[in-house]
Every structure is written in structure tokens, then in C-alpha cells.
Amino acid sequence: MARSKLLTAAALSSAIVLASCAGKTVSDDTSATSTATSPESTTTVETLVLETDDDVALNLEIEQVEPDTLIEESDEMNMDLVGDLVFFDYDKADIRAEFREMLNTRAAYLVANPNIEVVLEGHADERGTREYNLALGERRAKQVATYLQVKGVSAGQIDVVSYGEEMPLALGKSESDYAQNRRVKFK
């Protein structure tokens, strides 16, 4: 009974998110939503391109997972094993493919546990102005939040904060140090 309510809520949330996107401007060159499925898998991949009120394009490739793969509340899964960091390319807020599985797992866990809240902390490396890096960290955190919401996580479970360049993970000046600082952290 609880599982069917959860699945109904997840489907309804996805429909609401997609319906709310209908009023948004979609850029001409990416106006189509593409869907790909394979007969032997239970996963559907959709690509969505949204423009926010701040004229920031959000490129999301969303994998729709079949309901039987959702994590139940009774599962004894340690979310720390999944990872709590999403890293980004220089000056970008696009979610890289290598982090989608981790985000799908986190989303399923949050959907199955609606009483759990998460804070998404956006970060940037030190290149750029303080204001620009705060905005970039916020865009990154919002990108992850949008991904989770499309996967069925309630907006009420997610808080977004940006620290910009203020809380580096690595203190060096090399590209590998900068790469560690371009991240969103789950709290």
C-alpha cells in the first residue's frame, strides 16, 4: 500500500515538474525532448533543456528507472557508500554522466524516505570574482536539485546553498586542486 502511494506520488511529482516546464522558454536548437529505451533494460533516458528565469540553460539527461528498482525505507543502505560529491567541469553547471547513477540512488532513497531532508552545497574554484563564484556554486546546486526533483524528490526535502570559492576542498593552485573545488556536496 505504501509502495503504491510512493509510486503514485513519484509519478505525480514528475508530471508536475514537466508540466511546470511547459511555461519555460526552451532554446530553438534543443527544443525536442529525446527519449531512448532498450528492450533489455528497464531504464528510459530523456534529455531536457530548460532555461531558468536567470537565462541559464539547464541541460539534464534524466534516466527514468522502473518502480521496482526504488530503494525501500526498510533497506539498510549506507548512503555514504554511494558518495556525497558531484564534481563539475571548469565554469560549467552540467551534471557529468559519471555522477548520474549516484544521483539516481540518492533520489530513490529520498523518495522512499520523505522525512529526510538534504542540503546541497554548491562550490567553485577560486578563479573568477567572488560574486561570480557564488552564482556559479548556486547554479550547480540548483542543477542537482532539479535533477533530484525530476526523479521524484519533493522540493521541500531540498535546500540549496552556495559557498562559491569560500570553502575549498583542496588548497593548491593546480588544475587537480581546482577540479576538487568545483563540486556540490550533499549534507
Say whether pLDDT at 27 is over 90. Answer: no
Whole-angstrom Cα distance, residue 175 to residue 181?
10
Say whether pLDDT at 172 is over 80. Answer: yes
Q: How confident is the model at residue 10 (pLDDT cuts 50, 70, 90)?
A: very low
Query: What's residue 46's pLDDT?
Result: 53
Query: What's residue 81's pLDDT?
Result: 55
Tens digit of each residue's pLDDT (9 = 90 or more) over 43-76: 445 555 554 555 555 555 555 544 444 444 334 3
Query: What's residue 34's pLDDT?
Result: 40
Query: What's residue 138's pLDDT?
Result: 98
Query: What's residue 22's pLDDT?
Result: 44
Structural domains of the chain in order of their starting residue, each with its CATH number = 2-24+69-186 (3.30.1330.60)
Query: What's residue 121's pLDDT?
Result: 97
Average pLDDT in the 123-149 region? 97
Residue whose cell numbers read 555514504: 80
Structural contact between residues 111 and 151, judged by C-beta atoms closer than 8 angstroms: yes
Supply the pTM of this predicted model. Answer: 0.61
Output the CA–CA distances (angstroms, integers) from residue 180 to 44, 57, 75, 138, 183, in the order listed: 31, 24, 31, 17, 7
Tens digit of each residue's pLDDT (9 = 90 or more) over 96-122: 999 999 999 999 999 999 999 999 999
**32: buried, middle or exposed (CB in 10 Å: 19+, 13-18, 0-12)?**
exposed
